[in-house]
Amino acid sequence: EKLNGWSNGVGLPDGFVESSTFWLVNDNKLIGAIDIRHRLNEALAYRGGHIGYGVRPSERKRGYATMMLSLGLKECEKIGLSKVLITCSKSNIGSSKTITNNGGILDSEDINDGEIFQRYWITL
């Protein structure tokens, strides 16, 4: 109910933007989730971007993240986005590969809380 509200801008906590959450489930087992932010605020434009996703550790390195991001980008098109920002820690090689496998182009790197992160753009 809360997530449905957030997708319509209802009950958003401070600093949040409208977002849609999708779950990847296989054989009644939660594999992962992807959160699509409908727009960027100042904080998300710096780090966070339009999309956040995660895959259960026991299910990683099986292509699920790449598939989820591909499907998520189709949802981004449906809400009218033409360009999507995704960020990840530079040390997260799996996420970087997921993003580039879906057309992500590295735009820049920056440091936040002592950690290097990368900013990728995907044109839809």
Residue 98: is it exposed, middle or buried by C-beta count within 10 angstroms (0-12/13-18/19+)? buried
Asked whether residue 113 carries a pLDDT value surpassing 80, the answer given is yes
Residues 6+ apart with CB under 8 A from 109: 90, 116, 117, 118, 119
Confidence class for position 11, pLDDT limits 50, 70, 90 = confident
What per-residue confidence (pLDDT) applies to 7? 82
Return the CATH fold of 2-123.
Answer: Aminopeptidase (3.40.630)
- What would the pLDDT profile of 54-102 be if each residue is shown by its tens digit? 999 999 999 999 999 999 999 999 999 999 999 999 999 999 999 999 9
What per-residue confidence (pLDDT) applies to 99? 98
Domain residue spans of the chain: 2-123
What residues are paired with 111 via a beta bridge? 116
Mean pLDDT of 15-34: 95
Query: Using an 8 Å Cβ cutoff, are 121 and 85 in contact?
Result: yes
